[in-house]
């Protein structure tokens, strides 16, 4: 049975407070099909972070504003490659993060990341 057409949201919810704005970024996957090897997984994760960065930029934020991410991985065996991509995206001081193992993701993705960011007023 064919899967229903996936519709992804690059939009974010912005909650404005007196001290700034909270941005809740929708989960992002890499824009192209995944490949099977570990090096390709790290590349997929990097492209996922690039998509997340674009979504945040559209809301007036960037990766340095991220305070929390949640990553969904179809295999926790790929966590090392994911951590390397996270390090490349955020540098030496990554945000708080949670990694969750899941059975499957849309479009055959092996990793999806969502984020919460805060932009001071």
Query: 1 lies in a domain?
Result: no
Query: 4 lies in a domain?
Result: no
pLDDT of res. 1: 47
Q: At 100, is the pLDDT very low, low, confident or very high (cuts 50, 70, 90)?
A: very high
Predicted confidence (pLDDT) per residue in 2-52, tens digit: 555 556 677 677 788 899 999 999 999 987 655 656 568 999 999 999 999
Number of domains observed in the structure of the chain:
1
Domain interval for residue 82: 12-120
Higher-pLDDT residue of 78, 32: 78
Rounded to two decimals, the pTM is 0.86
Q: Going by C-beta distance under 8 Å and a sequence separation of 6 or more, which residues neighbour residue 111?
A: 29, 30, 41, 44, 45, 48, 71, 72, 73, 74, 78, 82, 105
pLDDT of res. 16: 85
Q: Specify the CATH number for the domain of residue 98.
A: 3.30.1330.40
Query: 34 lies in a domain?
Result: yes
């Amino acid at each position: 049975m064919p899967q229903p057409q996936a519709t992804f949201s690059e939009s974010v919810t912005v909650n404005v407070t007196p001290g700034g704005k909270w941005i809740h970024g929708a989960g992002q996957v890499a824009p192209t099909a995944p490949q099977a090897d570990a090096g390709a997984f790290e590349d997929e994760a990097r492209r996922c972070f690039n998509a997340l960065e674009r979504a945040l930029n559209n809301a007036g934020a960037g990766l340095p504003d991220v305070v929390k991410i949640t990553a969904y991985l179809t295999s926790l065996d790929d966590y090392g490659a994911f951590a390397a991509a996270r390090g490349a995206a955020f540098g030496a001081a990554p945000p708080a993060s949670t990694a969750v193992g899941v059975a499957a993701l849309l479009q055959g993705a092996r990793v999806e990341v969502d984020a919460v960011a805060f932009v001071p007023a």
